[in-house]
Amino acid sequence: MQNALLPATIAPVLEFLNAAGIAVFAASGALLAAEKRRDIVTFIFFAVATGVGGGTIRDILLDAPVFWTLENKTLLICCIAAIGVWLTPVRFWSGRALLWCDAIGLAAFATYGAAKGMAYGIAPLPAFSMGVFTACMGGVIRDMLAGEPSILMRSELYVTAAALASGLMVVLTLNGLPSYVSALAATVAGLSLRGMALVKGWELPTYRR
């Protein structure tokens, strides 16, 4: 497999972002199961599907080993997140907890997905796309499982925030910045845009003809 050893060069900060993205996306899946008043098995299923969904699609497209099949840590993170939501009083998750967990996971996964794409030697634009796929597809899978309208069908800034984080990661890396600097800047930018969309209600204009 081409450039199969390159992901070993990904900086620890990127691995941390990947683990953080898995945890918060898994929590967002479990939170949706909580809103539906489902059982603990459904909590775990939603958590796993949401936590690994985007990364699975990315790795298949990269012709890379699917990341969560290589070790036990990923599934353990998803299960712990699901059980944590199950055991936590519902008042702790009231309000917009699901949206904020999703926002953090979105920014972290977009950054990591773009970095992994570049580590596998693909061109900058496909690497950018890998970041967007990694960030968005877990949420799409979660919404499909729950029978909810997809986040992609809403006019709020969602894919745009993922695109900002992913694109910034690619651009900064190509300009020679250290991977940890690029990753932190990209993640903060993506999270900030998504956060402002949640707080201020920012949206892209919709088709009106």
Residue 67 pLDDT > 80, yes or no?
A: yes
Mean pLDDT to the nearest integer, 165-173: 96
What 3-state class would DSSP assign to 98?
A: helix
Look up the pTM and report it.
Answer: 0.87
Residue 1 pLDDT > 50, yes or no?
A: no
Burial annotation 95-132 (CB, 10 A radius, 16+ → b, else e): eebbbbbbbbbbbbbbbbbbbbbbbbebeeebbbbbbb
Parse the chain into domains and list their residue ranges. 6-200
Mean pLDDT to the nearest integer, 97-125: 91
Mean pLDDT to the nearest integer, 149-169: 88
Residue 12 pLDDT > 50, yes or no?
A: yes
pLDDT for 5 equals: 40
* Contacting residues for 164 by C-beta, under 8 A, at least 6 apart: 110, 186, 189, 190, 193
pLDDT for 2 equals: 42
Tell me the pLDDT band of 13, cut-offs 50, 70 and 90: confident
Nearest in space to 30 (alpha carbons), one of 19, 44, 16, 17: 44
Tell me the pLDDT band of 95, cut-offs 50, 70 and 90: low
Q: Which residue has the tokens 């990269």?
A: 62
Mean pLDDT to the nearest integer, 125-136: 95
Residue 3 pLDDT > 50, yes or no?
A: no
Q: What are phi and psi of 162, to 5 degrees?
A: -65, -40
Contact 136, 162 (CB under 8 A): yes
Regarding predicted confidence, which is higher, 208 or 197?
A: 197
What 3-state class would DSSP assign to 88?
A: coil
Contact 93, 24 (CB under 8 A): no
Range scoring the smallest mean pLDDT among 69-78, 112-121, 125-134, 145-154: 145-154
Mean pLDDT to the nearest integer, 98-107: 87
C-alpha–C-alpha distance, residues 99 and 192, integer Å = 13
Mean pLDDT to the nearest integer, 130-154: 88
- As a whole number, the mean pLDDT across the chain is 88
Question: Which of the 8 DSSP states describes residue 121?
Answer: T
pLDDT for 4 equals: 40
Tell me the pLDDT band of 96, cut-offs 50, 70 and 90: confident
